[in-house]
A and B are shown apart, each in its own frame.
Chain A
Amino acid sequence: MTVRPEDLVRPAAAAAEIEEPSAALTAGPAQPVPLLGWARRNLFDTVPNTLLTLAALWLLAEIVPPLLRWGLFDAVWSPAGGAAACREGTGACWALMGEKNRLMLFGVYPYDQHWRPALATALVVALLATSALRRFWRPWLAWAWGGGLVAVAALMWGGFAGLSPVETAQWGGLPLTLGLAVLGIVLAFPLSILLALGRRSDMPAIRALSVGYIELVRGVPLVSVLFMASVMFPLFLPEGVTVDKLLRALVGITLFTAAYLAEAVRGGLQAIPRGQEEAADALGLSYWQKMRKIVLPQALRLVIPPIVNQFISCFKDTSLVTIVGLYDLLAATKAALADPDWRPFFVEGYIAAALVYWAFCFFMSRYSQWLERELAKGTRR
């Protein structure tokens, strides 16, 4: 019998009511509580609690009104007046968005071709949304991803059917961020399975290699891995062979993510009872048959939520490619703010970029929590 965290959480969540019997008694069970009574029970029931509430209210009163004035009432919304109108006003300069949104979203991709990265982004988001629903977890989904990624690459590159070719050096903005995150996870996944299996192998040499790789990569910062990929990668290859800057960063991100993902997969492997493997052995299955048909299907189902979490941190980490000179969403925002006219309004620009990152990460983490409960339904007692 194993104790799952959610079993431990449930009684503790009820602790609030148990610890305060007086409040439960005075209010009575399951009655519609008027707002005043609710406030008295939750905000002003004891002296320390009242002080806490007052402190929080004071904090809100200090922060919220100026923030609203700055962000809403005094803000400059229309880009018509340009940066000069913003400089005269005292509020936020949302006109910046009207002026620079294309540069922030798509980087230096040729302006008249922006529908291509926009379509590519929509395609990736649609694929992500489709994969989120369990009812679509069918073999055709893998084919859809394969076809979708080829279509995205073709759209971005162009060079056929009248689409002008666009070099990877000109790719940028949100499509680059999404592409690096998605490809980073997709490519790291097979490698991470091999590493996780290697770490649990009986063969000492293979185990040592896997452990060495995983711990080495997890011990160093992503920035240094990216530097290595951008500076040392050209040295590793035979003379005269050059590799695209974007591809170098992608290799760095993939190798880095694989080590973290391998630990998540290992967690799933460890949760499979030993009897499953022994039964497979007794049936005479080979190692790979055993893994492919018995162990991995059960283990990978368990690690889907950690994989989603890893995807979230990979999505945030792609912002580091800014440092090695790629134009992802963050770097494109920075480039937009390099315009001396608009530089004073950097906070507005970063808030807009942060909202994009936040929306993706917040909904994915909510999804991961929902999925964890959803997948645990079958095993809950």
Chain B
Amino acid sequence: MPMERGRRVRALLYSARFRAAVYQVVVVAAVVALGWYLVHNTLANLAARGIATGLSFLGREAGFDIGESPIAFEASDSYLRALLVGLLNTLAVAVTGIVLASLLGLTVGIGRLSRNWLVARLATLYVEAVRNVPLLLQLFVWYGLVTALPGPKQALQPGLGVVLSNRGLKFPLPHWHYSYVAVLAALLAAVAAALVLRRWALARQNRTGQPFPWLPAGLGLMLGLPLLVFAAAGAPLDWDRPVLAGFNFRGGATLSPEFAALLAGLSVYTSSFIAEIVRSGILAVPAGQTEAALSLGLTRGQTLRLVVLPQALRVIVPPLTSQYLNLTKNSSLAVAIGYPDLVSVANTTINQTGQAVEGVAVVMSVFLVVSLSLSWLMNWYNAKVALVTR
């Protein structure tokens, strides 16, 4: 029966599933072949240059110093520890940058919507001026400005004990006192109590219709309880102020010029994008919602808090997530102004060991992990504020 078989073969050749399988096998084979070719070349090149492969270099002595580090680091520590310092520096600037950029962006975004003509124009000017200029250029300007500040002897002192000089930004910090643990514990207890209060208040309102001002009460609790404990401990406030000693300042907390420039650049640049996101989010809530809420007798504050913001957040959160991710990734521009972030430490490591593949792989996997966890966190929050449909 050759005819029967021919037809079956033809049916197989023309079947969508068979073809899909063939295409996929071909594409995957091509990708694998390309990958093998690249790996083969790389290994050959590395062997020719006498560079070892593998991650064993991580345990070796780094031999270079790092300008600033949240954990103790010396040149005799390992490359692994150096990279860890870089990662912590990256996280430090990213987290503070996200907080500052959000606050600044929220202010400017609301400013753009202000009924006040002058304020709206100023906010627009800010957004258009900042977001159309490359971040790297802005960083160079910030760094130039910070390092062009006068030396410690002629340092600017804008008040409150803050000192601005070309050695960085220094500010007073209270000396550590054991009672601060109790104050912190009081704060945590107050937060927990406020959450319980909110639950109870909402449950009672659902049951009886009687509202309870849980928000002011909770905030008062969170502010009052720690203050009470602080006062009970005798208010042990002893400021550690920066004072000029020789050629530099002693005492107080310090933001290095590099950190300050990077933080300023990242926050300002990202805030212009966040402002636009906030603005479009608030505009996306139809005016009828506000009118309906006001006609139900809600106050302006309640309308904003209970009606407008929850709906605006739905529009705001997804693009906000990608701005946070952008800020974190952009923190790698630190390498251009000499802040020892992960990329900059990895760069030094690559230059010293020649192990470019491993170094780049470490950087990329760390950024992937950070990006994925941040987007997971924001997705979780987004799921909480998202519209629940039937």
* Contacts from A to B (Cβ < 8 Å): 5, 8-9, 11-16, 18-20, 42-43, 45, 49, 52-53, 56-57, 59-60, 202-206, 209, 216, 218-224, 227-228, 231-232, 234-239, 312, 316-317, 319-320, 322-323, 330, 334, 344, 346-347, 350, 353-354, 357-358, 361-362, 365
Contacts and interface: CB of A to CB of B under 8 A. Distances in A.
B330 A205 contact: no
Given A12-B285, A231-B360, A346-B144, A205 B28 contact: yes
A5 B138 CA distance: 32
B382 interface: no
Interface residues of B, number: 63
B299 interface: no
A8 B283 contact: yes
A27 B17 CA distance: 71
A56 B119 contact: yes
Contact of A223 (B38, B115, B286, B333): B333
B367 interface: yes
Nearest to B356: A231
A227 B291 contact: no
Contacts of B119: 52-53, 56
A221 B134 contact: no
A334 B42 CA distance: 35
Contact of A12 (B20, B286, B332, B335): B286
B129 A5 contact: no
A347 B350 contact: no
B137 A49 contact: no
B133 interface: yes
A289 B290 CA distance: 50
Contact of B132 (A227, A353, A358): A358
B317 to A, nearest CB: 16
B333 A224 contact: no
Interface string B42-53: 101110100000
Contacts of B287: 11-12, 14-15, 18-19
Nearest to B375: A219
Contacts of A236: 38, 41-42
A57 B122 CA distance: 10
Contacts of A43: 116-118
A350 B144 CA distance: 10
A316 B134 contact: yes
B118 A57 contact: yes
A227 B133 CA distance: 23
B372 interface: yes
Most A CB within 10 A of own CB, among B135, B136, B372: B136
10 contacts: A8-B286, A9-B280, A12-B282, A53-B118, A219-B372, A227-B343, A234-B45, A323-B333, A323-B336, A346-B141
A357 B350 contact: no
Contacts of A52: 114, 116, 118-119
Contacts of B285: 8, 12
B145 interface: yes
B80 interface: no
B332 A223 contact: yes
A220 B144 CA distance: 27
A291 to B, nearest CB: 14
A362 B132 contact: yes
Contacts of B136: 319-320, 322-323, 330
Interface in B334-357: 335-336, 343, 347, 350, 356-357
Most A CB within 10 A of own CB, among B134, B280, B333, B371: B134
B360 A228 contact: yes
Contact of A221 (B27, B330, B350): B330
Contacts of B138: 354
A81 B180 CA distance: 61
Contacts of A13: 283
A350 B137 contact: yes
Given A221-B343, A235-B356, A319-B136, A347 B145 contact: yes
Contacts of B336: 322-323
Contacts of B291: 18
B20 A202 contact: yes
Contact of B134 (A5, A235, A330, A347): A330
A206 B24 contact: yes
A5 B280 contact: yes
A344 B145 CA distance: 10
Given A223-B343, A361-B132, A232 B140 contact: no
Nearest to B144: A346
B368 interface: yes
Nearest to A350: B141
Most A CB within 10 A of own CB, among B27, B332, B350: B332
B336 to A, nearest CB: 5
B284 interface: yes
Contacts of A5: 280, 284
Most B CB within 10 A of own CB, among A53, A223, A239, A350: A223
Interface in B136-158: 136-138, 140-141, 144-145, 148
B196 interface: no
A222 B38 CA distance: 21
Given A43-B117, A49-B116, A354 B137 contact: yes
Contact of B144 (A205, A216, A347): A347
B360 A235 contact: no
Contacts of A346: 140-141, 144, 148
B24 A224 contact: no
Given A203-B20, A221-B332, A232-B357, A358 B133 contact: yes
B364 interface: yes
Most B CB within 10 A of own CB, among A20, A206, A235, A365: A235
B200 interface: no
Nearest to B49: A235
B264 to A, nearest CB: 14
B307 interface: no
Given A12-B285, A12-B286, 8 more contacts: A56-B122, A203-B24, A205-B24, A224-B364, A238-B41, A330-B137, A346-B148, A354-B137
B12 interface: no
A365 to B, nearest CB: 7
B135 A316 contact: yes
A239 B48 contact: yes
B363 interface: yes
Contacts of A45: 115
A14 B291 CA distance: 12
A312 B27 CA distance: 33
A53 B145 CA distance: 30
Nearest to B27: A206
A219 B284 contact: no
Contact of A220 (B131, B290, B329, B335): B329
